[in-house]
Amino acid sequence: MIGQVVHLDAWFDGATGRVEGYAAPAGEIAPCTIHFRNGGRLIAAARAVHFMRDATYIRAGWCGFSLGVVPSLFLFDDSLDLCCAASGNVLLSLSFADIADGWAASPTKARTAKIIDFLPSQSAIPSVEALGPLVSRIIERKGPIVAAEAMYEMLLRRPADPGGLVEVAGRLRTGHVKLAMEGMLASEEYASLAASRRLLSPFDYGTPPEMVLALVD
């Protein structure tokens, strides 16, 4: 299932040679997919599934996408259209002139960028900062106990033990979300998991339902 885009913001980052942005659906769990078209032809795609700190007011920040830009993306004409994969609507157009200066500034990165980029590895949670907005949403909607249970499932991959649940929920109840997460991430149990596995993202199989539902605005 693909979410239909109702909000999009995108730009070309000359320092990285990539089109960056975020796209969000309306009241849907499924993430959006952005199609990149040139001359009416589909030439690349990116899923809006990674965390973007500048967009935490939309889907708790989990709506970012990124695409490496190469000259061959402009094979058919001088514009690159960003389209909603679900509706086919053109949401934004970038001209060759818009990004030519950026290529000149970072030619190596531009040449080595992928044309098709679905970002399968960038949905992993990169930091406490990325998980915080989701936990805060769960506290608002379901309370600190449900949020604490979801944190255990997300970070430690197990149900919360009674003592740990009381401690973490107590911190969440008093507004110390960051402190609660830092305590869990500093534990030996988390360190043993982190050595062999990456963190779950809201779009991975096995993510607690509360984390997934917290994406819906």
- Cα 180 to Cα 182: distance, rounded to the nearest angstrom: 6
In the 8-state DSSP scheme, what is residue 13? Answer: E
Task: Give all domains of the chain, ordered by start, each with its CATH number.
Answer: 5-112 (2.60.40), 128-213 (no CATH)
* Digit-coded pLDDT (tens) for 11-63: 888 777 889 999 988 777 888 999 999 999 999 999 998 888 888 888 888 89
Which residue, 202, 170, 205, 187, is CA-closest to 64?
A: 202
CB atoms within 10 A of CB 186: 9
* Digit-coded pLDDT (tens) for 103-112: 555 544 433 3
CB 130 within 8 A of CB 183: no
* Digit-coded pLDDT (tens) for 141-158: 999 999 999 899 888 888
3-state secondary structure of 29: coil
* Digit-coded pLDDT (tens) for 157-206: 889 999 999 999 999 999 999 899 888 888 888 888 765 566 667 777 67
